């Protein structure tokens, strides 16, 4: 019996190691795809700021032009930072807030149906953007990022830093 448990334990350990190798690649794909999507969305807003400002006005968002500019800037700059993996977790915070505000304003019905009709919540436009930012916020940008490279360089220049990072 112990032999079977030992084999299962060994097999499970191999599975965990193999699956863990997917983490940096998955984080890279999430950052590249959704960073680019954020950038494009923000850039699109900048092309005609009056259009998102008018939409924000219909939603009752105060100072619609200012907020359209802030959202476009957040999406462009935050998207680029995600794309290159620089200050990724920090960039994920305003992007996450932007997507939460999108749910609270433009997708309120989807948000209110989170438990009664989860498909409506999951199908709303902000969901995938929000999910991507939460992944980066929780797990970081991964090893294929400038954040990781900077951490490694700083660790080499300051002995003992590796244990604190």
Two structure tokens written together for 54? 């008018």
Q: What is the pLDDT of residues 37-74, one digit of tens each?
A: 999 999 999 999 999 999 999 999 999 999 999 999 99
Q: What is the pLDDT of residues 67-88, one digit of tens each?
A: 999 999 999 999 999 999 999 9
Please measure the distance between the N-terminal and C-terminal CA atoms of the chain and give it in whole angstroms.
42
Are the C-beta atoms of 92 and 82 separated by less than 8 Å?
Answer: yes
DSSP 46: H
Distance CA 68, CA 106 (A): 13
State the pTM of this model: 0.87
> What backbone torsions phi and psi does residue 73 show, to the nearest 5 degrees?
-65, -45
Q: Report whether pLDDT(2) > 90.
A: no
Helix residue ranges per DSSP H, 59-117: 64-84, 88-105, 108-112
């Amino acid at each position: 019996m112990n032999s079977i448990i030992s084999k299962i334990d060994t097999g499970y350990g191999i599975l965990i190691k193999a699956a863990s190798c997917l983490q940096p690649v998955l984080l890279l794909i999430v950052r590249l795809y959704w960073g680019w999507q954020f950038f494009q969305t923000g850039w699109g807003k900048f092309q005609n700021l009056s259009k998102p400002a008018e939409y924000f006005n219909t939603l009752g968002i105060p100072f619609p032009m200012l907020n359209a500019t802030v959202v476009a800037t957040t999406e462009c700059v935050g998207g680029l930072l995600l794309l290159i993996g620089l200050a990724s977790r920090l960039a994920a915070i305003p992007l996450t807030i932007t997507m939460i505000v999108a749910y609270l304003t433009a997708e309120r019905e989807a948000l209110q149906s989170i438990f009664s009709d989860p498909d409506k919540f999951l199908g709303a436009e902000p969901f995938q953007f929000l999910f991507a930012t939460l992944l980066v916020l929780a797990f970081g940008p991964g090893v294929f990022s400038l954040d990781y490279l900077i951490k490694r360089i700083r660790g080499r220049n300051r002995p003992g830093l590796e244990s604190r990072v």
